[in-house]
Chains A and B, each alone.
Chain A
Amino acid sequence: MRVKILTVDDSKTVRIIVKKSFKSFDCDVVEAQNGVEGLAMAAKENPDIVLLDITMPVMDGVEMLTKLKSDPELKSIPVIMLTAEAGRENVMKIAKVGVRDYIVKPFKEDVLIDKVSRVIDLRPAGESAPAQKNIDDPMDILVVEDQPAIIEQIKSGFGHTPWEVHGVASTGEAIDFCQRKVPDCILISLSIPDDAAITLFRIIRSNAKTKYVPLFGLSVKTALEEQQRAQQAGFSTIITKPIDFGDLESKIGKAVNLDTSGKYFAMDDGFMTVKLPTACNPAVVNEVSTYLKTKTSEAVGAGISNVIFDTQAVESLNMEVVKLMLQSMKLCRDLSLKYALAGTTKIVSESKKFEESKDWNFCDSVDAAKGSF
């Protein structure tokens, strides 16, 4: 999986040094010059980690960190502060807001790589990554949980997917399972006694066969202390119970670099249909946006010249969706593709509330949209 690092620093020099440091790893480094740009970039790019300076103009690092940690969509992104200002007062201030680690400038490249690799899986560039799977491919999800009811709940939650959930109750059974078959993703309950989750995490990470397998912690929402301990040990993602399966599915998809484009894009009968789901949250919009260019180019390559944007399932039209649609329409115009929209009366009426979408014409079904060309 190609990981994404966001470096937020007003100094171009530091941004160049950070980029250079990760050149030999399979990762993308995206940049921002201050806290305001950093927040916008974090929402747009959904990075795996943020390297954040403290003293910056416009919005400093402490303010950006506070805003990031209070945003439900962004708060789980781990942050490492990279600052020239150490000192007890500063460290205490940033520790309270919740940073994973901090690096004091001047810093050695090795230290930067070491600290980042404790939080995300850095894979050397060129090292063969597993073949990309798509949403119809089977996957093995290992759940290490001593509560059988939770295992059953996860099995049922993924019932609509081709994923196979394997439940084990102890770390010993988990190790045995991994020796027989390397799972695509592992979920470990953090409440197994004697910090067994942390021990298992270390064993899995130190084994060459399993070191890149995405590992999520499972914890009750209110068990903040156990979550903090797990994060300090290196868990980059914690899933809280009760489990939001839509969110978990999306996180697993991203972690295993699953091609989820099939959920939104379909091509048949000379049409490409872009079907937006019920809950169009920023993560979904970002996911669709990621595939947009590739899938549209694929459509052109396949001789398709008509595109339908199907918003019939969308619960509510928000600005993020409007922006996505504008981006999609522009892409169609650039590639000389014709497009039509399908939406419910609710979506039509909501579209009138935005200046950007007030003149859009919707058909009441995909068939009607097909007939409109």
Chain B
Amino acid sequence: MQQTFPITDTELEALATHAVGSVYSTMLETDATLVSTMEVGGSDCEEGSALPIDTDQTLIAGTVGFIGRLSGVIYIFMDLPLALKITCRLLDLKTQEIEAEGHETVNDAIGELTNMIVGAFKNDLSNKGYECRMTIPSILRGSSFSIEPAEVGLRRVFKFDCDGSSFVIDILMKEETQF
């Protein structure tokens, strides 16, 4: 299955790096560097393995799906301190102002950040001839996540570093035969 998948590992890595890079540089005026790539289901990373984020804090996950000839879902995981830092930078607000509003502001900001990253990823896929539509973002919070999809053609986990903190992009894709 993996050998016949229309997107190669190199292309997927380029798509992920470009999407993250363009959103971080444009909206947050900072860089995100790719640290590692994991092939889930491969020898170095089994399905259900822990995410490669070095933190004991609560995690926040933004998720947006895309549907077309290539369908899938992209998760962005980060710990709450990084999510708060990103929200401050995105909205040009102080930590106290954001904390005063409760979870909603951080959730919305990470949801929008995910939406933009998946949007940039999806637009690059469209330019390669794979038109697709996006779903509305959703947010999860928790301390331990394990994603075991029922059916997937390609799954890669990319770990990025940004200002000394790490975050993870988990991309799950499959080719739709009905399209």
Chain A residues packing against B (C-beta within 8 Å): 10-14, 16-17, 20, 55-57, 83-89, 104-108
Contacts and interface: CB of A to CB of B under 8 A. Distances in A.
Contacts of A83: 119
B84 interface: no
5 contacts: A83-B119, A85-B133, A86-B126, A105-B119, A108-B26
Contacts of B26: 106-108
A96 to B, nearest CB: 16
Nearest to A12: B108
Nearest to B101: A12
Interface stretch (B40-48, B69-77, B109-117, B149-157): B109-117
Contact of B136 (A55, A88, A107): A55
Interface string B116-128: 1011101100110
Contacts of B105: 12-13
Q: Choose among B26, B109, B115, B120 the residue with the greatest number of A CB atoms under 10 Å from its CB.
A: B115
B68 to A, nearest CB: 10
B116 A89 contact: no
Given A20-B92, A84-B119, A105-B115, A11 B108 contact: yes
B123 to A, nearest CB: 5
Nearest to A20: B92
Contacts of A105: 115-116, 119
Contact of A106 (B109, B116, B126): B116
A85 B132 CA distance: 9
A162 B116 CA distance: 53
Given A20-B91, A55-B134, A106-B26, A85 B112 contact: no
B143 to A, nearest CB: 25
Contacts of A86: 119, 123, 126
B128 to A, nearest CB: 11
Given A55-B134, A106-B26, A85 B119 contact: yes
B136 A84 contact: no
DSSP class of B's interface residues: helix, strand, loop or mixed? Answer: helix
B115 A106 contact: no
Contacts of B111: 11, 13
The prevalent SS among residues of A at the interface is: loop
A130 B147 CA distance: 62
3 closest A-B pairs by CB: A84-B119, A87-B126, A106-B26
A105 B90 CA distance: 13
Nearest to A11: B112
Given A20-B91, A20-B92, A85 B108 contact: no
Nearest to A13: B112
A107 B118 CA distance: 14
A86 B134 CA distance: 11
Nearest to B28: A106
A11 B131 contact: no
Nearest to B109: A13
Contacts of A108: 26
B163 to A, nearest CB: 18
Contacts of A85: 119, 122-123, 133-134
A75 B75 CA distance: 39
Nearest to A106: B26
A297 to B, nearest CB: 33
Contacts of A20: 91-92
Interface string B99-111: 0000011001101
Nearest to B126: A87
Contacts of B104: 12
A327 to B, nearest CB: 31
Contacts of B90: 13, 17
B22 interface: yes
Q: Which of A17, A89, A104, A105 has the most CB of B within 10 A?
A: A105
A86 B132 CA distance: 11
A88 B130 CA distance: 11
Given A13-B112, A86-B123, 5 more contacts: A14-B112, A16-B91, A55-B135, A86-B119, A87-B127
Nearest to A57: B136
Interface string B5-30: 00000000000000000110011000
A13 B86 CA distance: 12
A11 B115 contact: yes
A12 B109 CA distance: 8
B122 A17 contact: no
A235 B90 CA distance: 33
B95 to A, nearest CB: 16
Nearest to B130: A87
B122 A13 contact: no
B62 to A, nearest CB: 11
Contacts of A16: 91
Nearest to B24: A106
Nearest to B27: A106
B136 A13 contact: no
Contacts of B119: 83-86, 104-105
